[in-house]
Structure 1
Amino acid sequence: MKITIRGSALAILTTTLVVVGLAITGCSTQSDSPGTSDPGGSADQQGFKIGLLLPDETSTRYETQDRPQFEAALKKLCPDCELLYANADQDAAKQQQQAQSMLTQGAKVLVVDPWDGVAAASIVNQAKSQKVPVIAYDRLIHSPDLAYIISNDYTKVGELQGQALVDKLKKDGVTSGGIVMLNGADTDNNAVNIRKGASGVIEGAGYTVLSHLETWDGPTAQKFAAAQIAKFGDQIKAFYSANDGNAQAAISAMNAAGMPLVPTTGLDATLASIQSILAGQQYMSVYNSFAGEAAQAAKVAVQLAKGEKPESSAQIEGIPAFLQQPQAVTIDNIADTVVKDGVYKVSEICTAQYAAACSANGIK
């Protein structure tokens, strides 16, 4: 899909140098003379084509948050730029084809959130051959030729999830029993880091991991959760979930089995999960600022298109990077996180079903 942001047409300026001696011997026009504009237009005059490739539509954040936030930030920074957009629908080969199409269309920079961080290295290689820089967005691409990485501290995400779960269990007096872990796909470097952060906290607190699954696919997670409920029953004291999709899958499985809900974690602060937290179902989620991440990506993309060197606050494997810090979201701070940042309007969260819970928790 292609979204056009281009505004005005460009004027190509030529400067005619008049050579004057004791007598006028002639005039010449030189497009490469000092002070002459580049025929393609200067960085400030020329719009660029910027490619944004997102990995899937199962995580609602990509279409409802990342894409529109990136588009808005790009339009503000570069009104004459053109956004080329595509979603891979969980298909690494499809994402490769989408990237090739954008390069063929003349994209000056690619911003890629990979479905498969290893397979996406081929996108970087192809772009490099055409001197097009690639920004890894949200998820790492395993390539030394990346121009920049924009993401979140996902090890910290896992630590926040694990600590929230352990604190909740201890508060409820649960000192033994097991936890079922619904981790993200092992092809996703973020999922690996999330699991690392969460496992360190959970195992360090002495709780037993009964079983685990690596997937971002909700239906697969729900089937697995149902099987674990049938196998372990009341031994399950919590479901650790790496994201909100898996969390809602676990809650659905518990409801279907008639099992009392146990604390369940999440990530992405989706609207469904925020409402689920208000309803006392999902215990917590983790919020990373979608607007902040998308705005930084747009800023760096425009800088790279202009041939500038963006500043970085961190490095990952020697590649300049920008990492946001995540926030844990529970029923106690919904108003101070996703509502305050304008991710959701109060009217979107506090529908009739959740109005009483909103009022009780100061969400107005």
Structure 2
Amino acid sequence: MKRLVSILIAVLMVATVFVGCGKDKAASSDKIKVGLSLPTQREERWVRDKAKMEAVAEEMGIELIVKVADANMQEQTTQVEALLNQGIDVLILAPHDASAAASLVEMAKKDDVPVISYDRLITGTDKLDYYISFDNVKVGEIQGKFISEMVPEGNYIIMSGAPTDNNAKLFKEGAMKHIQPLIDSGKINVIAEQAVENWVPENALKIVEAALAANDNKVDGILAPNDGTAGAAIQALAAQGLAGQVPITGQDAEKSGAKRIMEGTQSMTVFKDTRDLGQAAIETAMKIAKGEKVETNSAVDNGVIEVPTVSLDAKVVTKDNIKAILIDSGYMSEDDLK
């Protein structure tokens, strides 16, 4: 009997060793799982963001699960719930609605999932872990400085981005640092000032068409918040034979915007290299998942807390430097501008 008991104990010890080894092997082979929730793929820049993050995640051996809300907050909520149910380790969230997305951060926190606010700042929550973006006030300053120096007086159409996007607020804040003093001095007369719902170009088209009709086509400068709205404004100008005669801003360095700059109908764009942004987001997610320190270079107030931030630099692009910035960097090819 003693011999039998000894044999059984020995067998159990060997089995335990093998089970333990099996668990260690499984744990070591588990991939980091990151959820990515994007607001849209309607603009070229968001397509680039998605492609870059997918490529970087694959290189780093991260399982990246991507959802696109198509500019619908309810859809984004449903998709984030689905991502959390799939057991993600980190959530990268680019919100459709900056304030409404606070509830998604709270939801993630209940599951102990850290959240990175990507490109657009999520407001109204103290649970947000990190924010990765460009200095969006400076982006607006680039636009405002450019247009106000090019057109220091005259009739202006001032458009801003979607009211639900906190970045739109920051862009306009930066731009008005240069434009508002000229308004106050009477040099600039604002004939239309309106936000573009959901960043939809058709909405920008209506704003510019209405302003032109109400002011006998007398416009001297247009502040357009991105390349999509700039393209719509140029369409309205072209219908009146004014394309290329009215300076207009842009942002995102889309191929269509770059082509218009070469053609002379759009004056500038702001280049925010989404390759760097996407890379930073995936690298940050990996560090968080591994419990490593995340290096930040600023903090941004989201209305509740100062959110630790990784802030990248943006550049102005004009016809004079478009080749050096967009072509030579490999962001676009020469054929893209034809």
Question: TM-score normalised to the size of structure 1?
Answer: 0.82
SS of the residue corresponding to residue 221 of structure 2 reads strand
1:41-56 superposed matches below 5 A: 41-42=27-28, 45-56=29-40
Give the Cα separation in 1 of the matches to 2:18 and 2:208: 68
Give the Cα separation in 2 of the matches to 1:321 and 1:39: 36
Q: Does 1:151 align with 2:151?
A: no
144-153 vs 307-316, greater mean Cα deviation: 307-316
SS of the residue corresponding to residue 131 of structure 1 reads coil
| Matched residue, 2:59 | 76
After superposition, the Cα gap between the structure-2 partners of 1:32 and 1:312, relative to the gap in structure 1 and judged at 3 Å, is farther
Q: Which has the higher helix share?
A: 2
| Matched residue, 2:96 | 115
| Matched residue, 2:120 | 139
Give the Cα separation in 2 of the matches to 1:106 and 1:324: 30
SS of the residue corresponding to residue 113 of structure 2 reads coil
> Which of residues 320, 342, 359 is equivalent to 2:330?
342
| Matched residue, 2:166 | 189
Cα deviations by residue, 1:176-201 (Å, 9 ceiling, x for unpaired): 32210111012111100100111110
* Number of residue pairs aligned between Structure 1 and Structure 2: 315
Deviation at 1:209, TM superposition (A): 2.1
Give the Cα separation in 2 of the matches to 1:130 and 1:32: 29
Structure 1, unmatched stretches of 5+, are 1-24, 171-175, 352-364
Deviation at 1:233, TM superposition (A): 2.7
Give the Cα separation in 2 of the matches to 1:40 and 1:308: 22
State the Cα RMSD in Å: 2.0
| Matched residue, 1:222 | 205
Question: TM-score normalised to the size of structure 2?
Answer: 0.88
Deviation at 1:259, TM superposition (A): 3.1
Give the Cα separation in 2 of the matches to 1:99 and 1:312: 25
| Matched residue, 1:129 | 110
> For residue 197 of structure 1, what is the amino acid of its counterpart?
G
1:1-364 superposed matches below 5 A: 27=13, 29=16, 38=24, 41-42=27-28, 45-63=29-47, 65-77=48-60, 79=61, 81-142=62-123, 143-170=125-152, 176-205=153-182, 206-215=187-196, 216-259=199-242, 261-317=245-301, 318-349=306-337, 351=338
Structure 2, unmatched stretches of 5+, are 1-8
Q: Kindly, what percent of the aligned residue pairs are identical?
A: 33
Is the 8 Å Cα contact of residues 217 and 240 (structure 2) preserved in structure 1?
no
Is the 8 Å Cα contact of residues 226 and 257 (structure 1) preserved in structure 2?
no
Give the Cα separation in 2 of the matches to 1:46 and 1:61: 32
Is the 8 Å Cα contact of residues 67 and 79 (structure 2) preserved in structure 1?
yes
